[in-house]
Structure 1
Amino acid sequence: MKALIMAGGYATRLWPITKDNPKALLPVGNRVILEYILDKVLELDVETYISTNRFFETHFRPYAERYDVGLIVEDTLHEEEKLGTIGAMKKAVDELGLDDYLVIAGDNLFSFSLRDFLGRYRGETLIAVYDVGDPELAKRYGVVVLEGDKVVSFEEKPLIASSTLVSTGVYIFPRKIMRLIDEYLQNGNKDSPGYFLQWLLEKGKEIRAYRFSDYWYDIGSADSYLEALKTLLSESHVEEIQISPYAKIIPPVVIKRGAKILGRSIIGPYAYIGEECIIENSDISDSIIFRKSIIRNSTIWRSIIDEKCEIRNLELRKSLVGGHAKIQRGE
């Protein structure tokens, strides 16, 4: 078996913060998404590869080297050129050969053990499913209907959800199924594994489901990103920073090296402050502030501020601010 972490997308739903940063490398707590996935995969002792694109190759190479995993690079630089998940799976088979493949979406944060998941594998396609508890929310994903652990229906992004169980972007495809990718790609949607699963069911192929609870986050929106931060940030990580005696930190928070917390600022709970940020007389909670941003005399709640921004005299709630922006209200 080989493990394949899919990180070849351009994450347009989270632009502008992912315009120059791959989604799999966004920080959640004191680590990036990819590191949470790699820790789980490397417990299995299987050949592991990250699949990405030429545009983001240099971002992923240090992680591939640090974790001693392979890198498969599709020769694309733009969203409209990308191979898509199924196209990237075909490229992996072409480069690495037919095998059973554990395939994991690189923007996935999930609670279960991959060792336990692998223990449920019996030679048929296996997918991890999670109950989102809301039919409206389920409609955003691949909706699954089960009899026991057997998948009897799968519909990608249906107009009406027939259940609240959804596929979570963690799969095992046996080699006999990987062999069918060329046939599927002649007419099938190359981007979403959900359509591939629908096609397999239509061809009479068996699919089994592994149900889990606790938590799952598909980091496809600002809301899911911030919710993941709240779930996974259980303790504070404060590096070498400058902090005013009048400032207050409410854990848990992450404050990276070189940050300056000045004046009567209040940081936290659930705040990520990147390297060399300057926060002065500001309240920041439930938010992520990327490196070298400056926040003065402002209140930031449930927002994501990209790198090298400057925010002054504002109250921002549920906002997403792109890199290098300068926003202020008059004194």
Structure 2
Amino acid sequence: MKAVVLAGGYATRMWPITKHRPKMFLPVGDGTVIDIIFEDLEADERIDEVFVSTNERFAETFETFLADAPYEKPTLSVEETAAEGEKFGVVGALAQLIEREGVEDDLVVIAGDNLLSFDVSEFVDFFESAGTPCLAAYDVGSKERARSYGLVQLDGDRVVDFQEKPDDPQSTLVSIACYAFPEETLPDFDTYLTGGNNPDEPGWFLEWLQDRGTVHAFTFDGAWFDIGTPESYLDAVSWYLDGGTFVHDDATVEDSELGANVHVMADASVVNSRLDRTVVFSDAVIRDADIRNSIVDEDTHVENLDLSNALIGAHSHLE
């Protein structure tokens, strides 16, 4: 069995924080978003190779990361794009990867910006039992949120209806970016695309498959975060920290008050300040400031300011 980790997005909604780094490298606790996925895939002996699908712009970043990482399975598979407007779409990129890498096995596909509260091996167990294309589904608990995703209706664990980003959701159960495809269904990617169908959202492809055969859904409780906006990233950090703080041993915190869900990275300095629900990257300096619901990038200096809901880019100086 093969796996693909989708890491080709440009995360423009999180610029400047993600302008020069893939969003799946954003820290959550003592690891990153993508580390959690890699660890699960590394532990599952049924998966013998993991393709990391990224773009030309971030290829070198991933090469460096994988060279230093303890994982043995991941290999890089590079899309020939370097900007948002050149993207093939998720389905198009997957079809190209299947052809480029000669994939002829069952295939598990996970978005690298997914923070999952279930073990990927549980999803693989479900997929092997079902023997059909499968997706993971989660109840987002809000019809407003459901409008942004593919809506799933089930009969037991079989998908009986699928609507991509409906204007008027009838439920709150949505498909997340975690899929599995039996080997014999891989040619369906080309069939779908040559028919002029939407190459971008994988939900449209799953809806197309569901119209032609059986698709099953793995549902789970717990938590799921789609790291695509500053708010969703801070939500994920808050879930992971559970109201606590994470201060690296090499960070300096003096005469300061750290509220709930604060992460201060190595070599950062926080002096005479108050932080709440904020991530401070390495080598940042915060002095005499009050910062809430914000992300402060590396090598940044913030002094004598009261900030809320801020994205402060690397190497900035604000006072």
TM-score (norm 1): 0.88
User: How far, CA to CA, are the matches of 2:270 and 2:223 in structure 1?
Assistant: 32
Aligned to 1:178: 186
Aligned to 2:312: 321
Counterpart of 1:78, as a letter, is A
Aligned to 1:212: 220
Aligned to 1:191: 200
CA apart distance, 1:251:
4.3
User: How far, CA to CA, are the matches of 1:255 and 1:221 in structure 2?
Assistant: 24
Counterpart of 2:246, as a letter, is V
Aligned to 1:6: 6
Aligned to 1:240: none
User: 1:104 aligns to what SS in structure 2?
Assistant: strand
Aligned positions of 1:27-106 closer than 5 A: 27-45=27-45, 46=47, 47-65=49-67, 66=69, 67-68=71-72, 69-94=74-99, 95-106=101-112
User: 1:116 aligns to what SS in structure 2?
Assistant: helix
User: How far, CA to CA, are the matches of 2:124 and 2:293 in structure 1?
Assistant: 36
Contact 2:290-2:307 within 8 A present in 1 as well: yes
Q: Aligned to 1:112, which of 113, 118, 123?
A: 118
Counterpart of 1:195, as a letter, is W
Aligned to 1:23: 23
Q: Deviations over 1:24-78 (max 9, x none)?
A: 1110111011100011112212121211111111221244343122111112211
Q: Deviations over 1:130-157 (max 9, x none)?
A: 1011111111111111111111111111
- Structure 1, unaligned stretches of length 5 or more? 235-249
C-alpha RMSD over aligned residues: 1.7
CA apart distance, 1:5:
0.5
Q: Which has the higher contact order (CA 8 A, sep 6+)?
A: 2
Percent sequence identity over aligned pairs: 39
Q: Deviations over 1:285-327 (max 9, x none)?
A: 2111122222111111111112232222122122222233333
1:155 aligns with 2:163: yes
User: 2:44 aligns to what SS in structure 1?
Assistant: coil
How many residues matched? 310
User: How far, CA to CA, are the matches of 1:57 and 1:232 in structure 2?
Assistant: 28
C-alpha distance 282-113 of structure 1, shift in aligned 2 (>3 A): same
User: How far, CA to CA, are the matches of 2:249 and 2:284 in structure 1?
Assistant: 12
Counterpart of 1:295, as a letter, is I
Aligned positions of 1:129-148 closer than 5 A: 129-148=137-156
Counterpart of 1:194, as a letter, is G
Contact 1:256-1:273 within 8 A present in 2 as well: no
CA apart distance, 1:129:
0.4
User: How far, CA to CA, are the matches of 1:251 and 1:119 in structure 2?
Assistant: 34
Q: Aligned to 1:309, which of 271, 295, 300?
A: 300
User: How far, CA to CA, are the matches of 1:143 and 1:289 in structure 2?
Assistant: 36
Aligned positions of 1:237-316 closer than 5 A: 251-255=244-248, 257=250, 259-262=251-254, 264-316=255-307
Contact 1:252-1:271 within 8 A present in 2 as well: yes
Contact 1:2-1:101 within 8 A present in 2 as well: yes
User: 1:231 aligns to what SS in structure 2?
Assistant: helix
- Structure 2, unaligned stretches of length 5 or more? none
Q: Deviations over 1:190-247 (max 9, x none)?
A: 2221111122223x2211001100111111111111111122236xxxxxxxxxxxxx
User: How far, CA to CA, are the matches of 2:276 and 2:295 in structure 1?
Assistant: 11
User: 1:286 aligns to what SS in structure 2?
Assistant: strand
C-alpha distance 13-320 of structure 1, shift in aligned 2 (>3 A): same
CA apart distance, 1:256:
5.7
Contact 1:253-1:269 within 8 A present in 2 as well: no
User: How far, CA to CA, are the matches of 2:201 and 2:105 in structure 1?
Assistant: 21
Counterpart of 1:274, as a letter, is M
